[in-house]
Structure 1
Amino acid sequence: MGCSACRVRFNSAKALSFLTMLLIFTYFFYCLTGICHSAPRTFYADDERLGTPPGNRSASPVDARAVQPRSLLEDSNKNNDNNNMPVSNTFGSKRFPQAIIIGVKKGGTRALLEFLRIHPDVRAVGAEPHFFDRFYDKGLEWYRSLMPRTLDGQITMEKTPSYFVTKEAPSRICTLNCQTKLIVVVRDPVTRAVSDYTQTLSKNPGLPSFQSLALRNASTGLIDTSWSAVRIGLYAKHLENWLQYFPLSQFLFVCGERLVSNPAGEMARVQDFLGLKRVVSEKHFYFNQTKGFPCLKKPEGSSRPRCLGKSKGRPHPQIPTAVLQKLRDFYRPYNRHFYQMSGQDFGWD
């Protein structure tokens, strides 16, 4: 009788143990299933790597929060705005840029952005968003969805060189945040115009000659300011538009020529302006004689150095000296006015 009772107790214990294990297994199964369903989706950082144009992207459903622009700006700097998101998807926040490289085209903006991306406290959009000039109607949530995720202490940046010459861009950026820091990479406007023409010519071999586009009339020698390659170089006129919305203290003017001849020196100025520790220095650069501009030394874990693509450093076509001189004479008063406005003499005369 006693042995029979022992066997009953033993079998009951086995059954209880089996039931407990079954419950634990079921619990973990559902936990794992929940994690699988809540795994983070691909963000626009992946789109940038794949080269998807900004205009072809749709707003991320994770970030679709419909609030007014001012509230949106405030919410973007809070870490608790993702409380409804899975824990695995709250690594950093998508914030509006605290600093924007606004210009100028063919001035060296791509090089500056790539140099800045070395810094561990800078996260930047790879492709040009063109939000404040082309895609403003898509709304602020679309714009923020393009931004990389950042941690506290990191700066979010983007660059779109056409902002500098877009009349509506200053007011639109100020509507978002009038404290945004603005970086303008400028270059000798004559050299810049030739570089601009060279880029267009590579895409359209049937383009008329540089001189026929730059001059309204060959006999009078008047410069055609309606041609964008010429108009972009009127830096003083464009800056006047920006100074209606932003104080000069929020601008940094980077010299495109010095970004080539002394990249570490210009990068020191940029890092100081952004309030960053001087991490990017001489050790990161070497001069590529073939391309004619500095490249980044081989990063750790990489098999080769990083240089800008084939579209950078193209050989310029031969332009008649007389045409170039007419352009220099034309730009001289605008350059001097720009020197006074910016407080820097770039020595283009």
Structure 2
Amino acid sequence: MYSFKYFSLKRHVSNYKSVSRRFAALLGFSFNGHTYMRLHKPNMVPTKRLPDALIIGVKKCGTRALLEFLRLHPDVRAAGSEVHFFDKFYHKGFEWYRDKMPPTLEGQITMEKTPSYWVTRSAPRRVYAMNPSVKLLVVVRDPVTRAISDYTQSASKRPSLPRFEDLALVNSTVNWGGVWSIVDSSWPPVRLGIYTRPLRRWLRRFPRSRILFISGERLVVDPAFEMARVQDFLGLKLVITRKTLLLQLNKGLPLSSQVGKSAHATLLRQN
């Protein structure tokens, strides 16, 4: 025990600060003037966090394959299913959304995929409210191929669905006579392929540098190239390469998407 009555006021203050610093160091604090500040330490306990990156679209372009490939990276953790927070469940609040995320360590990236965000009018504003610095991934492919894939999926569930051409085209009489078929841009599978409409909404909220467009076609013919672009965009170490993709796929990585299966076939042919 110190008997402070034997010290001058100056020595008293100096001794107090010295002892305080030693105790603060033991407790993980730093002493700065009259303020204690908690020292920043890496969080080694997995914690549920809001997403750092989102796969926001586009439907039937390869979003599932992209997520399946990203799961191979040790610093990526993704929600198990499409959460639909920004289009259907926004009223439940951010704590509800956070609870749907997987636990991550500090330094890992939390991700979520819901392709319908791309065309949801309120989604850009809502995503921005969550995090203005979030990174957005958008997979696109040839609009005709995308529309056919979309239709094929619907037709597999509804055999009575009219033919693709009967839905995608409408007859129009032109001035010089005759009946011509034109594309019906109001039909959802066609409308989804008009990428400029939703893009304008997203660019009103986010700079172009925050959005990465991924080629659905190249994800099939050269998945390693596209995944290198994705990892660079997300600030990740280059872990997912042609070698690691082939290794994991040969080990039996479950691929639920046609794009992913096609990419695997491409890698096998190139091997």
The TM-score, its normalising length taken from structure 2, stands at 0.74
Q: Deviations over 1:219-248 (max 9, x none)?
A: 431222221100110111111111010000
1:151-300 equivalences under 5 Å are: 151-217=105-171, 219-286=179-246, 296-299=248-251
1:1-349 equivalences under 5 Å are: 91-217=45-171, 219-286=179-246, 296-299=248-251, 305-309=252-256, 312=258
Q: Distance in 2 between matches of 1:284 and 1:203?
A: 36
Q: Distance in 2 between matches of 1:169 and 1:130?
A: 10
Q: Distance in 2 between matches of 1:171 and 1:165?
A: 12
Q: Distance in 2 between matches of 1:152 and 1:117?
A: 17
Paired amino acid for 1:107: C
User: How big is the shift at 1:79?
Assistant: 8.3
**Percent of pairs with identical residues:** 60
Give the count of matched residue pairs: 213
Q: Distance in 2 between matches of 1:209 and 1:277?
A: 46
Paired amino acid for 2:255: L
User: How big is the shift at 1:307?
Assistant: 4.0
Q: Give unpaired runs (5+ residues) of structure 2.
A: 1-40, 173-178, 260-271
Q: Is the 8 A contact 1:95 1:156 kept in 2?
A: yes
Equivalent in the alignment of 2:24:
none
User: How big is the shift at 1:182?
Assistant: 0.3
Paired amino acid for 2:249: K
Q: Distance in 2 between matches of 1:92 and 1:307?
A: 25
Paired amino acid for 2:81: A
Q: Deviations over 1:247-296 (max 9, x none)?
A: 0000100000000000011000000000000001111334xxxxxxxx94
Q: Distance in 1 between matches of 2:72 and 2:118?
A: 25
User: Would you tell me which structure has more strand in proportion to its own residues?
Assistant: 2
Q: Is the 8 A contact 1:79 1:93 kept in 2?
A: no
Q: Distance in 1 between matches of 2:108 and 2:216?
A: 25
Q: Deviations over 1:17-65 (max 9, x none)?
A: xxxxxxxxxxxxxxxxxxxxxxxxxxxxxxxxxxxxxxxxxxxxxxxxx
1:102 alignment partner, SS class: strand
Q: Distance in 2 between matches of 1:296 and 1:206?
A: 40
| Structure with bigger gyration radius | 1
Q: Distance in 1 between matches of 2:111 and 2:229?
A: 16
Q: Is the 8 A contact 1:296 1:307 kept in 2?
A: no
Q: Deviations over 1:77-130 (max 9, x none)?
A: x989xxxxxxxxx93111000000000001000000010000000000120001
1:220 alignment partner, SS class: strand
Q: CA RMSD in A?
A: 1.9
2:183 alignment partner, SS class: coil
1:128 alignment partner, SS class: coil
The TM-score, its normalising length taken from structure 1, stands at 0.58
Q: Is the 8 A contact 1:184 1:252 kept in 2?
A: yes
1:205 alignment partner, SS class: coil
